[in-house]
Structure 1
Amino acid sequence: MKKPIQDKKIDYSISNDANSPQKFLFERLANKWYLMIICDVEFESGRFNQILKRNGEISQKMLSQTLKNLEEDGMVSRKVNGQKMPVEVVYSITDFGAELIKVIRPLIGWSNENFSRVTQCRKEYRKKYSIENT
């Protein structure tokens, strides 16, 4: 008889100390480009310039740093094809990165559903406190 699979208990506690896993990881996740680029690469692998074109507002420097961070964290892989000149480098989502996408997908849906509500609340806030549009 097989032993039933034990569900792994997930720790949902949040710590604010210096060694907090949340501080460590949320720092990266709080960067808008980190999430935008991982979602882009999940949709379609690509070379640096392809990813740059698909994300028109990002600078080359920021894209380079973001791809390095994503690779360092194991979210994307960087494959170098040295057979061609110039060398071809392609960025792809990893299985680990795909796990993160599954976690943030509900947040993406929530943002799509609530964008107009948030913008309306911001407009009302600015009006209430006589704040100029910036």
Structure 2
Amino acid sequence: MNKEKTELVKSFVCALENLMMGMQQVDSSCMEAYSDVSKRDFALLIMLGKSDSMIMREIADFLQVPLSTATGIVDKLIEKGYVERQFSPEDRRIILIRLNKEGKAIYLTLLNKLNYFGTMLLEEFSNEDRIRFTQYMEKAANATSHLRFKKI
């Protein structure tokens, strides 16, 4: 890798770290509000909020844990009153995990904080740059999507 490219990568990684620190502040403020929810729990609550429901195998794959561990995590979230198990209307052998009312409230709280963070971030750009920046972020996310379920 040539020197110019190396410097560009360093600059990119530094900017990315700063963005991640901002995102961690959002996480921290939510964790203060919901002290009984871990980062892994938040990740699962977000995924459930986005997908409406998941089966245990999908949860285990998302969390990168064995099925038995995922079951334990879900059991604890059920005990805390954030998620529920429901039979699939199409096939009663399939059990769906979904957010209940309290879980949806947590998800919406986090989503509102993330949207606020995004709004503050994008206010620094012109409208044209906002569009371009968002497109680049989507392209970067797509470029790394294959890493989502793999350990680096």
**TM-score, length of structure 2 as denominator length:** 0.45
Q: Which of the pair has more CA radius of gyration?
A: 1
Match of 2:58 among 47, 50, 61: 50
Structure 2 counterpart of 1:46, which letter? M
User: Taking structure 1 as reference, are residues 75 and 106 closer, same or farther at Cα in structure 2, changes over 3 Å only?
Assistant: same
Match of 1:91 in 2: 97
- Structure ranking higher on relative contact order (CA contacts 8 Å, 6+ apart): 2
Structure 1 counterpart of 2:59, which letter? I
Alpha-carbon offset, residue 60 of structure 1: 2.9
Aligned residues: CA RMSD: 3.2
Instruction: Give percent identity, aligned residues only.
Output: 11
**TM-score, length of structure 1 as denominator length:** 0.50
Larger helix fraction of residues: 2
User: Taking structure 1 as reference, are residues 58 and 108 closer, same or farther at Cα in structure 2, changes over 3 Å only?
Assistant: farther
Structure 2 counterpart of 1:58, which letter? V
User: Taking structure 1 as reference, are residues 107 and 69 closer, same or farther at Cα in structure 2, changes over 3 Å only?
Assistant: farther
Count of residues paired in the alignment: 86
Alpha-carbon distance in structure 2 between the residues aligned to 1:56 and 1:75? 17
Alpha-carbon offset, residue 70 of structure 1: 1.3
SS in 1 for 2:84: strand
